[in-house]
Amino acid sequence: MAQPVFDSAYARLPDRFFARVAPTPVAAPRLIRVNAPLAAELGMDPDWLASDEGVAVLAGNRVPETAIPIATAYAGHQFGGFVPQLGDGRAILLGEVIDRGGTRRDVQLKGAGPTPFSRRGDGRAALGPVLREYLVSEAMQALGIPTTRALAAVTTGERVIRETMLPGAVLARVASSHIRVGTFQFFASRGDVEGVHTLADHVIARHYPHAADAERPYRALLDAVIRAQAKLIARWLLVGFIHGVMNTDNTSVAGETIDYGPCAFLDEYDPGTVFSSIDTYGRYAYANQPAIAQWNLTRLAECLLPLLADDKDAAAADAVEALEAFAPVFERAYQGGLRRKLGLATERNGDAALADDLLQTMAANGADFTLTFRALCHAAADEGADAEVRGFFADPAAYDAWAPRWRQRLAEEPGDAAARRDTMLAVNPAFIPRNHHIEAVIRAAVDRDDFAPFEELLTVLAKPYDAQPAFARYMDPPAPQERVLQTFCGT
């Protein structure tokens, strides 16, 4: 098989949607890794991608004949403040491919050099953030959470200047699309209603084709994005994920997790957790994420107002009605997920309180989020496993006070205990990309040019729900000296 064939619907949109710009070649591209299963899914030949020719494409040194490289325009609210022009400052969209399932997917090179949207940035990415995004996005995929994917990563043979000099890298990223809430804001903030219209039609055709047949397509579009985001954020909370920079320009209208910067997973359960070094006020703390998503969706609704109704008041009322669906959709997804995590297949009054009391007890006792739920799977089938769960609580008696209520509730469930344990094991991961492991992977690669730890961690994270006893050490929370208190942006 030869080089991939691109078809670029986005590049056929009006000129003001993007800038045509080719990647800037790098000195000495070297392959870190090709994601062979994803390549196959996209109808690409992984061996070709790993060849000299393929690596040249992945590094931006060669543009495939069918590609139309562009940097897309977008705006965005960053930490609540509006920036009318952001855009792809260090990412270049090579184009789209139609995957084996017939779905259009973006292939983008992140770190491919300056674009008209780079402002003062260099258009490049450092190796550390590229490895972090590769690991965490693929871990999210394996956890079953909608996300952009990592198709490949290469080093550039060049250094980038950050706080220090760091090796440069390029990530080939795949997404349903890279269209963001901020893409709508780009046009809306310029009073370009025609642009909003064109973009909305594009998004409907690409992501929500059913909306085209709805009585009111743009309301149906808004409803669909709200639902997708509400469900996505519920999934994040259920695995302890903190995005870190939930700006409107990092909010995908397709409902995928996008732009992994200073993201992290909870170790001990603390809803106030903030990792991002740039999130001084804790705007994007773990437990704030649903409220922030709703805020971001409100910005999307504002952009769509002229499409919802001619009358301003009617349009506003319509938007408000659509936004009111966020909370119930989120709650259903979140509470349903918590019930499954606790082994409850049926729904009873008091389930939410039972789950919430556990979470509060965990928070008060510094219990590890992932390990506690994983151990509960075994405790559901065997009270002897309580000893392990208790060990995660600073005061084990706190678990003892809660556990009998849970057991009483489990007794009302149909099905046998072993089957319940197995169902629980399939929703409570053993392995998440813990920060101290990611940091260790990055240190090995950056300081010693050793990518073996990266490969090993990727292998473990590909099967997060399997026990993998040989890799049990990757379940461990950080030792005190390994604790990562802050994560830093990819910039």
Catalytic residue among 45, 88, 106, 249: 249
Is residue 21 within 8 A of residue 69, CB to CB? The reply is yes
Q: How many residues would you count in the chain?
A: 491
CA distance 133 to 491: 12
Q: Is 108 in the site for Mg ion (CB under 5 A)?
A: no
Residue (86 or 389) nearer to ligand AMP, CB = 86
Residue (89 or 306) nearer to Mg ion, CB = 89
Q: Is 116 in the site for ligand AMP (CB under 6 A)?
A: no
Q: Is the dihedral of CA 295, 298, 300, 303 positive or negative?
A: negative
Size of the site for ligand AMP (CB under 6 A): 18
Task: Report which residue type is found at 349.
Answer: N
Q: Is 124 in the site for ligand AMP (CB under 6 A)?
A: yes
Among 108, 248, 250, 276, binds ligand AMP (CB under 6 A): 250
Selection from ligand AMP, Mg ion, none that 368 binds (CB < 5 to 8 A by kind) is none
Burial 284-307 (b: 16+ CB within 10 A, else e): bbbebbbebbbbbbbbbbbbbbbb
Q: Is 449 a catalytic residue?
A: no
Q: Is 244 in the site for ligand AMP (CB under 6 A)?
A: no
Tokens of 206: 């690409």
| Partners of 265 in beta bridges | 241
Q: Is 200 in the site for ligand AMP (CB under 6 A)?
A: no
Residue nearest to ligand AMP (CB): 121
Q: Is 490 in the site for ligand AMP (CB under 6 A)?
A: yes
CA distance 259 to 252: 9
Selection from ligand AMP, Mg ion, none that 374 binds (CB < 5 to 8 A by kind) is none
Work out how close the CB of 259 gets to Mg ion at its nearest, in angstroms, rounded to a whole number.
4
Residue (87 or 337) nearer to Mg ion, CB = 87
Is residue 229 within 8 A of residue 293, CB to CB? The reply is yes
Selection from Mg ion, ligand AMP, none that 491 binds (CB < 5 to 8 A by kind) is ligand AMP
Q: Is 256 in the site for Mg ion (CB under 5 A)?
A: no
SS3 of residue 375 by DSSP: helix
Selection from ligand AMP, Mg ion, none that 90 binds (CB < 5 to 8 A by kind) is ligand AMP
Among 70, 86, 130, 266, binds ligand AMP (CB under 6 A): 86
Q: Is 148 in the site for ligand AMP (CB under 6 A)?
A: no
Among 25, 43, 89, 146, binds ligand AMP (CB under 6 A): 89
Per CB under 6 A, which region of 52-60, 80-88, 97-105, 311-319 contacts ligand AMP?
80-88
Work out how close the CB of 160 gets to ligand AMP at its nearest, in angstroms, rounded to a whole number.
8
Work out how close the CB of 175 gets to Mg ion at its nearest, in angstroms, rounded to a whole number.
12
Selection from ligand AMP, Mg ion, none that 96 binds (CB < 5 to 8 A by kind) is none
Tokens of 211: 């909306």
Residue (260 or 454) nearer to ligand AMP, CB = 260
Is residue 72 within 8 A of residue 95, CB to CB? The reply is no
Residue (115 or 365) nearer to ligand AMP, CB = 115
| Partners of 30 in beta bridges | 155
Q: Is 133 in the site for Mg ion (CB under 5 A)?
A: no
Q: Please choose, from the candidates 123, 26, 31, 35, the residue with its C-alpha nearest in 3D space to the C-alpha of residue 71.
A: 123
Q: Is 250 in the site for Mg ion (CB under 5 A)?
A: yes
Q: Is 491 in the site for ligand AMP (CB under 6 A)?
A: yes
CB contact set of 4 (below 8 Å; sequence gap of 6+)? 42, 43, 44, 64, 66, 97, 107
Q: Is 261 in the site for ligand AMP (CB under 6 A)?
A: yes
CA distance 454 to 456: 5
Q: What 8-state DSSP symbol labels residue 28?
A: S
Q: Is 60 in the site for ligand AMP (CB under 6 A)?
A: no
CB contact set of 234 (below 8 Å; sequence gap of 6+)? 290, 330, 333, 334, 337
Among 4, 95, 123, 167, binds ligand AMP (CB under 6 A): 123
CA distance 171 to 155: 9
Q: Is 433 in the site for ligand AMP (CB under 6 A)?
A: no
Tokens of 433: 């990309």
CB contact set of 236 (below 8 Å; sequence gap of 6+)? 145, 242, 243, 257, 289
Q: Is 259 in the site for Mg ion (CB under 5 A)?
A: yes
Per CB under 6 A, which region of 4-12, 114-122, 149-157, 445-453 contacts ligand AMP?
114-122
Q: Is 456 in the site for ligand AMP (CB under 6 A)?
A: no
Q: Please choose, from the candidates 300, 290, 299, the residue with its C-alpha nearest in 3D space to the C-alpha of residue 231.
A: 290
SS3 content of the chain, % helix, strand, coil (to 5): 50, 15, 35
Q: Please choose, from the candidates 137, 134, 248, 230, the residue with its C-alpha nearest in 3D space to the C-alpha of residue 183.
A: 248
Work out how close the CB of 365 gets to ligand AMP at its nearest, in angstroms, rounded to a whole number.
35
Q: Is 87 in the site for ligand AMP (CB under 6 A)?
A: yes
Work out how close the CB of 297 gets to ligand AMP at its nearest, in angstroms, rounded to a whole number.
18
SS3 of residue 41 by DSSP: helix
Chain residues binding ligand AMP by CB under 6 A are 86-90, 117-118, 121-124, 245, 250, 259, 261, 489-491
Which residues are the active-site residues?
249
Chain residues binding Mg ion by CB under 5 A are 250, 259
